[in-house]
Amino acid sequence: MVTHISTRYFILMHWDKEYLKYCLKQIEKEIKKLKLELNKKTRIYDLHQGINFLGYRFILKEKKLIILMNKNTKKRIIKKLNKLQKRKSNKYPLVKASYKGYIINCHCNGFLYRHKWFKKET
């Protein structure tokens, strides 16, 4: 019998590293009861160095959490929009609007002003 377990991603943030270690042990205990385990990428990071997670880069600067877009995500957006524009696809305006909403939600407004797709609108 094969059972599929869907993967869940999450970030737990706290200023106290010892508390995070405690939380990690508790999480490991609970998932062990389900006969699961955390993968090797599970770690405690210092947010001043920044972490990549689900297409974003999270960095702590001057006690403020800054959310940036990953470089690879920017490249994918550029590639996708160029491809749709070249094909003259009717999906282009919808995809462009979707990406614009995505970009506005992170601290990447400079990305909007630097690229040809968004210059005319802003």
Q: For residue range 7-19, list pLDDT tens digits in order.
A: 567 778 788 899 9
Nearest CA to 103 out of 54, 67, 62, 49 is that of 67
Identify the H or E element spanning 52.
strand 51-53
Helix (H) or strand (E) holding 30: helix 17-33
Q: Is 0.85 surpassed by the pTM of this model?
A: no
Task: Say whether pLDDT at 2 is over 50.
Answer: no
Task: Tell me which H or E stretch contains 86.
Answer: helix 71-87
Domain limits, the chain? 17-69, 71-119
Report which secondary-structure segment, H or E, holds 57: strand 56-61
Q: Return the residue matching tokens 């990305």.
A: 111
